[in-house]
Amino acid sequence: MKLRTKLIIAFILLSVLPLAGITLFSYRSSVQAFREIVERESGQLTEEMSERMELVNQELDQRIARLGELPYDEVMAAASTDHDRPGRFLDRFIEEMGESATLITALEFVPEQPPLPSAPQPPRSAGDEPDAFVINLASLWEGRGSQAPVAEAGGTHALRVGNVSVFLPCQALGKDCDKGPGHIHEEDIVSIVTSFAPEAGAIVAEQMVHLEGLAQIIVENVVAEVQMVENEVEHQRLRLPAEPASPEPTEPELLFARDFGCQVRRGDELVGHVNATVDAGGVLRSVLSRTRTDQGEIPFAVGTEGKIYTTDPGDAEIIRGLGVAEHSVDRVPDNWVVVTHEDESLGVKFGIARPVGESLEQMRRATGRNLASGLALISVAMLGIVPLSSRMTRNLSALTRGVDRLAGGDLDTRVRVRSKDEIGQLGAAFNTMAAQLSDNQKKILERDRLHRELEMCRRIQEELLPAQSGRLPFADVRALSIPARELGGDFFNYFALPDGSAALLMGDVSGKGVPAALLMANLQATLRARLPLESDLAKFAGCLDEELEASTQAASYLTLFVCIIEADGRRLRYVNAGHNTQYLHRRGGGIEPLGSTGRPLGLIAGGGYEERSLDLGDGDSLCLFTDGLIEAENGTGDWFGAERLAALLEEAGAATPDEIVARIEQAVREHRGGTVAADDATMLVLKVDAAGHGISGPGSS
């Protein structure tokens, strides 16, 4: 897959997918937070409804406690010519109850003694006298809401059937109350009763002879409910038929598990008790109507029998459709939030149903717009990323072609990248690398040439040195040179002189490389040519010192140990011009150091030199070496040391020169380990053998 395609795919994956994920997460978080807020607010409303219900109950208790002062005797009168008495009773009732008046559907007066005096009643048989008198107010409040104005047009009548007084508005009678009871006829009464209780109409008609002056007791404005009339007529032994087979649902009994009532006193005398029947549904609707609905909330209540109460009958169908009464609130549709709070003391469950479908739809639309806007921005960004990726890949392709040409050996390859970004920097680095490779290649070639030349010089230098093993007329000789990487200035030589003596040289030219090697070669030739002509080694060393100072740079000098062994091998003369101390190992044991007798040659001329001499015996060993031997370092920087060399010579004893050199070489290599030699290490071992028979080997002259 091409880089440009990868860049585009990566851009899409790293932009579209995170955008979609963030958008979805934001939407779900917003919905969850919105629902939590709605549920919290709804929960507060349901708790407020429960508290409001408790307050309503307390208010009912307080107001009903005042009903003991009402003039029940005026309403209980069986006959009266004053049709204003119901109105006065109702005025007092509303005055005491206030707005709670419409919540009372009936009052039952239970006397403590024989009923209060009243108008003459029709003759009744013994045992038929009821103990209580019922005042039915339910029909009076029907359709009037929370207001109950007595003085409305038409007035109020009280319809008396036995010990039941049903308060009716004049409008229900179709008569004008102001014209008096004489305008209400018996057929009107039968018609009114029949309209509220069809089954009771015939019975009322048969007993009209016993209801003389019945029309005169219509004194208050009340509307009777059919069920109450039927029940109360049966209570007065009118023997009405049984209740319908499918009665309407009754109000929840647990709303008011206790009775509402008070005592009736006249002065200090207890004359009876009043029990009030409270409209539980009306109480619930009154509580629900005071609940806030500015967000479309539907306050509702569910009784123990599952009946749903709402302020609007249509809302009850909505709540029923949500299935709140049948199953858990958790199964409510997503576009509604329903929160309930159960009042255990009343057995009623208050709830708030709030529609959130429109709000959720607005959130979905906003989320969709945000996602679309993000995708649009990504699309616009794609218009820029495509040409950018093309330019990047074009520059990378140029770099790739340049790398291929460079790998093929074309060190003059250069690429043209005009961008100033990282790819441009990479192109500039490539061109710099190509130029450096070209320069390095030239340097490598030059270095190889110099290396070849140095190897040639080394071979020439080695050719100038004598053979590593040889024999003089009076001694065996073994020499060894351990070369470093570069050309060095170490040199050694041994050769016979015309008078039968032998000369031995061990020197070290300062510096390394070709200059030191050339100076060493020149000195080799000079010493070999002039030593046979010089008998005084100190004078010869002084001449060399002055010549070197005059013919070489100030930094060029050399240390030199030169000695001559007489022809009989019994005497040694030497000059040590600044060279490190050499060793003479006696056959009987012991090491004699051959220290310096003057400054290095060519360093500071004119210092003069001293020639020294000593006697030799058969078996004595002369060990000559350069500083590269004793200064050989190991991995920790420790030198091999002159003491270790002297100890090896002591241990060698009567060993041959070959054996002595082999031991020293092995010890040096073990000490150095894998460390690369920084300087040439050269040594020469001569063992005196006066019984020899002439010089042999390449070192002879």
The answer to whether residue 538 scores a pLDDT higher than 60 is yes
- How far, in Å, are 479, 506, 569, 570, 620 from residue 617 at the CA level? 21, 22, 8, 6, 6
Q: How confident is the model at residue 343 (pLDDT cuts 50, 70, 90)?
A: confident
Q: Are strands 621-625 and 681-688 parallel, antiparallel or unpaired?
A: antiparallel
Residue 194 in this model has a pLDDT that exceeds 80: no
Q: What is the pLDDT of residues 275-286, one digit of tens each?
A: 888 888 888 888
Q: Residue 182 pLDDT > 80, yes or no?
A: no
Say which residue, 400 or 128, is predicted with more confidence: 400
Say how far apart CA 75 and CA 71 lie, in whole Å. Answer: 7
At 246 the pLDDT is 39
362's tokens: 């607005």
Q: pLDDT digits over 286-323, tens only?
A: 888 888 888 888 998 887 777 888 888 888 888 888 87
Cα-to-chain-centroid distance, residue 312: 52
What is 522-578 written as a DSSP string? HHHHHHHHHGGG-S-HHHHHHHHHHHHHHHS-TT--EEEEEEEE-TTS-EEEEEEES
Specify the range with the lowest mean pLDDT, choosing from 174-178, 322-326, 466-470, 529-533.
174-178
271 and 140 both lie in a single domain: yes
Please indicate, yes or no, if residue 536 is contained in any of the structural domains.
yes
State residue 50's pLDDT score.
Answer: 86
- Regarding whether 633 and 514 lie in a shared domain, the answer is yes
Which range (134-148, 381-395, 658-672) has the least confidence? Answer: 134-148
Q: Looking at the predicted structure, is the pLDDT value of residue 658 above 80?
A: yes
Mode of pairing for the β-strands spanning 164-169 and 133-136: parallel
Which two tokens mark 584? 């003479």
Task: Please say if the pLDDT value at position 600 is more than 80.
Answer: yes
- The dihedral through the CA atoms of 330, 333, 334, 335 has a sign that is negative
Domain for residue 548, yes or no?
yes
In degrees and rounded to multiples of 5, residue 649 shows phi and psi of -65, -40
The DSSP result for 325-353, as a single string, is TTS-GGGS-TTEEEEEEEETTTTEEEEEE
φ, ψ of residue 225 to 5 degrees: the values are -90, 145
Q: pLDDT grade, residue 418 (50/70/90)?
A: confident
* Domain total in the chain: 3
pLDDT of residue 82: 53
* Per-residue pLDDT reduced to its tens digit, 29-46: 988 898 889 889 888 888
pLDDT of residue 83: 57
Summarised one tens digit per residue, pLDDT across range 204-244 is 444 443 333 333 333 333 334 434 444 544 444 333 333 33
Q: Do residue 203 and residue 332 come from a single domain?
A: no
Q: Residue 273, SS3?
A: strand
Direct distance between the N- and C-terminal alpha carbons of the chain, in angstroms, rounded to an integer: 81
Same domain, 12 and 28: yes
Judge whether residue 568 has pLDDT over 70.
yes
Which pLDDT tens digit goes with each residue over 497-529?
Answer: 998 899 999 998 887 667 777 777 788 788 888
Q: How far is CA 110 from CA 78, 162, 259, 262, 428, in A?
A: 16, 15, 14, 11, 114
* Residues 557 and 631 placed together within one structural domain of the fold: yes
Amino acid 478: pLDDT: 92
In this structure, are residues 200 and 232 in contact, taking their beta carbons and an 8 Å threshold? Answer: no
pLDDT of residue 622 exceeding 90, the answer is yes
Q: Check: pTM over 0.85? Answer yes or no.
A: no
162 with 104, same domain: the answer is yes
At 660, which CATH number?
3.60.40.10
Pair (50, 183) in one structural domain: no
pLDDT digits (tens, 9 = 90+) for 540-557: 999 999 988 888 776 778
Residue 693 within any structural domain of the chain:
no
Residue 667 and residue 578 in one domain: yes
Domain closes at, from 320, 349, 377: 377
Average pLDDT of the residues in 628-641? 90
Give domain status of residue 192, yes or no: yes
Per the domain annotation, does 672 fall within a domain? yes
Residue 39, Cβ density class (10 Å: 0-12 exposed, 13-18 middle, ≥19 buried)? middle
Q: What does the pLDDT read at residue 575?
A: 96
Is residue 402 domain-resident? Answer: no
Confidence bin at 56 (pLDDT 50/70/90): confident
Whole-angstrom Cα distance, residue 295 to residue 44? Answer: 14
- Residue-number span of the structural domain to which 36 is assigned: 1-64+292-377
| Boundary-marking domain end, from 318, 347, 377 | 377
The percentage of the chain sitting over the pLDDT mark of 90, rounded to a whole number, equals: 16
Mean predicted confidence (pLDDT) in 678-685: 87
Q: What tens digit of pLDDT does each residue of 65-108 get?
A: 888 888 887 777 654 445 566 777 888 888 888 878 888 888 88
Report the distance separating Cα 515 and Cα 457, nearest Å.
11
Q: Is residue 429 part of a domain?
A: no
567 and 558 Cβ atoms separated by less than 8 Å: no
**Same structural domain for residues 81 and 156?**
yes
Same domain, yes or no, for 99 and 213? yes
Fill in the DSSP letter of residue 485.
S
Interval 571-590 mean pLDDT: 93
Average pLDDT over residues 252-263: 64
CA–CA separation, 215 and 264 (whole Å): 28
pLDDT higher than 50, residue 188 = yes
Please, what is the average pLDDT of the chain? 76
**Is residue 238, in this structure, part of any structural domain at all?**
yes
Q: How confident is the model at residue 560 (pLDDT cuts 50, 70, 90)?
A: very high
SS3 520: helix
Locate 189 and state its tokens.
């009464």
The pLDDT assigned to 647 comes to 92
Helix (H, G, I), strand (E, B) or coil at 36: helix
**For the chain, percent of residues with pLDDT exceeding 70:** 75
Mean pLDDT to the nearest integer, 600-606: 87
DSSP state of 177: G
Task: Specify whether the CB–CB gap between 134 and 94 falls below 8 A.
Answer: no
**What integer pLDDT is reported at residue 285 of this predicted model?**
82
Both 156 and 227 in a single domain? yes
Instruction: Please indicate, yes or no, whether residues 656 and 590 belong to a single structural domain of this protein.
Output: yes
